[in-house]
Amino acid sequence: MQDDPSDIIFSATSNIPKHVAIIMDGNGRWAQKRGLPRVAGHKAGVETVRSVIQTCVEKGIEVVTLFAFSSENWRRPEKEVTLLMSLFLMALQREVKKLHKNEVQLRIVGDVSAFDNKIQEQIKKAEALTEDNKSLVLNIAANYGGQWDITQSVKTLAEKVESGVLKADDITSDLISQNLCMSDLPEPDLFIRTGGEQRVSNFLIWQLAYSELYFTDTLWPDFDRQAFEEALSSFAGRQRRFGHTGEQIEKMKNA
Ligand code: IPE
Ligand code: IPE
Ligand code: MG
Q: What is the pLDDT of residues 193-241, one digit of tens each?
A: 999 999 999 999 999 999 999 999 999 999 999 999 999 999 999 999 9
Helix locations, the chain, DSSP H: 5-13, 27-33, 38-59, 78-101, 117-130, 146-162, 173-178, 225-236, 246-254
**What are the residues whose beta carbons fall under 8 Å from the beta carbon of 165, sequence distance 6 or more?**
none
Q: pLDDT above 70 covers what percent of the chain?
A: 98
pLDDT digits (tens, 9 = 90+) for 145-168: 999 999 999 999 999 999 999 999
Q: 118-151 burial, b for 16+ CB within 10 Å, e for fewer?
A: ebeebbeebeeebeebeebbbbbbbbbbbebbbe
Compute CA distances 25 → 65, 77, 193, 223, whole Å: 14, 17, 7, 10
**What are the residues whose beta carbons fall under 8 Å from the beta carbon of 119, sequence distance 6 or more?**
85, 88, 89, 92, 112
Indicate which atom in ligand 1 lies nearest the CA of residue 84: 6
Residue nearest to atom 11 of ligand 2 (CA): 201
Which of these is catalytic: 25, 139, 143, 189? Answer: 25
What global pTM score does this model have? Answer: 0.97
Provide the CATH topology of domain 5-144+187-250: Undecaprenyl pyrophosphate synthetase (3.40.1180)
Which of these is catalytic: 7, 27, 73, 174? Answer: 73
